[in-house]
Chains A and B, each alone.
Chain A
Amino acid sequence: MNRVGLGLAAAWLVIAVALLWAVVPGLFTGYDPIAGVPAEKLRPPGGPHLFGTDPVGRDLFARVVHGSAHSLSGAFTAVAVGLLLGTLLGVLAGSAGGLADDAIMRLVDVLLSVPGLLLALTVIILLGPGTVNVAIAVGVGSVAAFARLTRSEVVRVRRTDYVEAAFGSGGRYPAVLWRHVLPNSLGPVVALAALQFGLAILAISTLGFLGYGAEPPTPEWGLLIAEGRNYLATSWWLTTLPGAVVVAVVLAAGRISRSIGKDTP
């Protein structure tokens, strides 16, 4: 295996470990993420506590491991919302053309013109805070990117000879769309989904940090970093280690996205 292959394998490993944390946290840590032992507060990393402990004596590693369930499921929900809504809008715009295309794409332009964080905050204010709402808000923010990409791919594929040949052999519109247009336009969209997965983790953590996401004491990655910032001068591990985990997962998602983008013809 060459260096490129190794990097990609490492990226998949990071994502796999993060997923396992979310599914079976008990395999990785025996500590309780909520209940702390006051006597063991603010221990530096090492010894029995891999990532150290926080001001109420909770094991930070346990909190990161258990937090992955909240952060990852949030990111999945966000990507699912963006992917479904965005792809739907993009396919509609790309295949309908004309007035419908113009209307949908101008709406998308409006979405794109609002900064992502501002849009997410607006949605949260409408829906109220909470993990699911934060995920939906982040997902709405990525609808525009998905819609644009999908539309451009659909328009490209629709012009190819094989789509014309499919109509020529008697295909009806839905059949041609399903059999030829969608499979051939979704490659880059899947790559974008992987990239958005990383960005969603980041955005959810940002909103968690700002206090719109999970309520304490729920261990959510963004919230962990937020809680740690009061101890930045004395206990560096409270912000640095969860931050490093977030960075690793986001980078891994980006790397996987690039490999998907490269494989699609």
Chain B
Amino acid sequence: MSLLDVRDLAVSYDGRRAVEGISFTVDPGEVVALVGESGSGKSTTAHAVIGLLPGNATVDRGRILLGDADLATWSARRMEALRGAQIGLVPQDPANSLNPVKTIGAQVGEVMRIHGRGDRWEIRRQVVELLTRVGLPDPETRARQYPHELSGGMRQRVLIAIAIALRPRLVIADEPTSALDATVQRRILDLVDDLRAEFGTAVLLVTHDLGVAASRSDRLVVMKAGRVEEQGHTAAVLAAPEAAYTAKLLRDAPALSVREYREAEPAPREPAIVLHDLVKEFRLGRRPFRAVDRVSFEVPRGTTHALVGESGSGKTTTARMVVRFTEPTSGTVTIPGAGEGRRFRRHVQLVHQNPYGSLDPRQSVAEIVAEPLRNFRLGDRAARAARVAELLDRVALPRDLAGRRPRELSGGQRQRVAIARALAVEPGVLVLDEAVSALDVTVQAQILDLLEQLQRDLGLTYLFISHDLAVVRQISHTVSVMSEGRIVESGTTRQVFTEPGAPYTRELLAAIPEPVR
């Protein structure tokens, strides 16, 4: 008999349907991945199961059977007794999910205290045991520390410890690793796997990352627009997807699709970006902190160079020095063909990571795209309007979006607007700072295709900053791997991915989720 049996569940927000009658089961000790893009209803489903839907949501119909009990009919008070004891939750964001003014020990112990498991000394002993179990070094010290003293990965381990404290039969993990670096992500997923093997806990893994789902689940439930598109054993679904949507997701997921490496033509090209011994130091108290340490590389014209590394590796600081938003402490950035001062901006353009923040909410799409033209006084009003229309065509946006505001656009559309703005003054170099990281995989794939095509048509040179190796493999000709401010390895994408030299590169590569089970 199944541990969790969801039958024909429908949930709506303020009368608008978000989940349209879905059914799936989770067997004891099984990992079931709920996969879908943002807005597919996967998180709503998970929250319905654990009874944590927001106030404006209602369960319209369906049953949520945990064993024999139908949770859909339970009162909030009864659910309280169940949460933690029977169903554990690993929340999405380790940065905001812990109480900043309580110690780690108090927060892990809280769930035991609420459910009345043991006296103070017994709880304290169990907390240390749990923290040891989730792999936190020096657990006695950790129990006395506050959340801000721990790294993101350590906080996520604490959240897992809270979720498994009472040995629940089911753990719901809502995007448990989305906010973490690749190598940390892998260790956390390994931990979840170990705990499942040890305690026989079933896991409902909610994720937008098909790579993670493919490598970690027994069965897949693919959701789209509130419906289940397809479900089945992971290996079977991956090998032969039945639904067209699943096939598309698989094709678009960078970690799963095997594409050819991009190789630059063998003919030597003149460099478009040259970095020489670039150093950036920040003052932190008395001691200077070296964020970028003697970074040098060259990018040939018309190719893509990727700068890869985890958060804090110095890749974004390097990118900001290339676009001259930050002054280097020493060393040089040379961009042949770029002028000085304001003329520099006509040749080098930056595309920000977050398309939600990089567009002025009060301007229309047409005003945003025309802004560089106005700044450089290129053309009159009519000429600018014509150029805006041409640019919107270039980035495959319908022209009638010109009058809309950014908030009326989807994430992918916004990033296209940002790219159109960057292209307006016909630059030679585009610096893309995590430009596709905030997007769903299918949108991500479309933007990457667009970038590739623009490069072919306009001969652009890209400096592509990313933490996602799977994306990098797909788009770049050459790669530099950064760690702690230094470049630890450089070469063509094929070299770096097939014959990694540095141990750090090997660790990064091993962290790309692969569909093996």
Tell me the A residues contacting B by CB distance below 8 Å.
160-162, 164-172, 175, 179-180, 183-184, 265
Contacts and interface: CB of A to CB of B under 8 A. Distances in A.
A164 B362 contact: no
B375 A169 contact: yes
Nearest to B369: A169
Which of A165, A166, A175, A179 gathers the greatest number of chain B CB atoms within 10 Å? A165
Which of A162, A179, A180, A265 gathers the greatest number of chain B CB atoms within 10 Å? A162
B360 interface: yes
A169 B372 contact: yes
Contacts of A170: 342, 345-346, 372, 375-376, 425
Contact of B358 (A165, A172, A175): A165
Contacts of A265: 361
Given A161-B354, A161-B357, A172-B342, A184 B362 contact: yes
Given A164-B325, A183-B362, A169 B357 contact: no
B352 interface: yes
Interface string B315-342: 0000000010100000000000000001
B10 interface: no
Nearest to B421: A169
Interface of B: 323, 325, 342, 345-346, 349-350, 352, 354, 357-362, 371-372, 374-376, 418, 421-422, 424-425
5 contacts: A165-B421, A168-B325, A169-B349, A169-B375, A179-B371
A172 B341 CA distance: 11
Given A165-B350, A165-B418, A172 B357 contact: no
**10 closest Cβ pairs, A-B complex:** A169-B372, A170-B375, A161-B357, A161-B358, A170-B345, A162-B360, A161-B352, A165-B358, A171-B375, A168-B350
A148 to B, nearest CB: 23
Contacts of A160: 357
Contact of B375 (A162, A164, A175, A183): A175
Contacts of B360: 162, 166, 179-180, 184
Contacts of A180: 360
Nearest to A176: B375
Which of B358, B361, B374 gathers the greatest number of chain A CB atoms within 10 Å? B358
Nearest to B324: A168
A166 B421 CA distance: 10
Contact of B345 (A169, A179, A183, A184): A169
A3 to B, nearest CB: 19
Contacts of B354: 161
A169 B424 CA distance: 9
B361 A166 contact: no
Contact of B371 (A164, A166, A172, A183): A166
A144 to B, nearest CB: 27
Nearest to B362: A183
A201 B33 CA distance: 63
Contacts of A167: 325, 345
A35 B370 CA distance: 63
A165 B345 CA distance: 11
A165 B421 CA distance: 9
Given A161-B354, A166-B360, A170-B372, 8 more contacts: A162-B359, A162-B361, A165-B352, A165-B421, A169-B349, A170-B342, A170-B346, A170-B425
Given A168-B323, A169-B372, A170-B376, A162 B358 contact: yes
A59 to B, nearest CB: 49
A168 B362 contact: no
A166 B323 CA distance: 13
A163 to B, nearest CB: 8
Contacts of B422: 169
A175 B367 CA distance: 14
A161 B362 CA distance: 14
Nearest to A183: B362
A179 B372 CA distance: 12
A171 to B, nearest CB: 5
B361 A184 contact: yes
Contact of A171 (B349, B358, B371): B371
A157 to B, nearest CB: 10
Nearest to B427: A169
A264 to B, nearest CB: 10
A154 to B, nearest CB: 15
Nearest to B376: A170
A72 B424 CA distance: 49
A34 B360 CA distance: 55
A265 B362 CA distance: 9
Contacts of B425: 169-170
A162 B421 contact: no
A184 B360 CA distance: 8
A114 B306 CA distance: 58
A63 B418 CA distance: 60
A235 B284 CA distance: 71
Contacts of A166: 360, 371
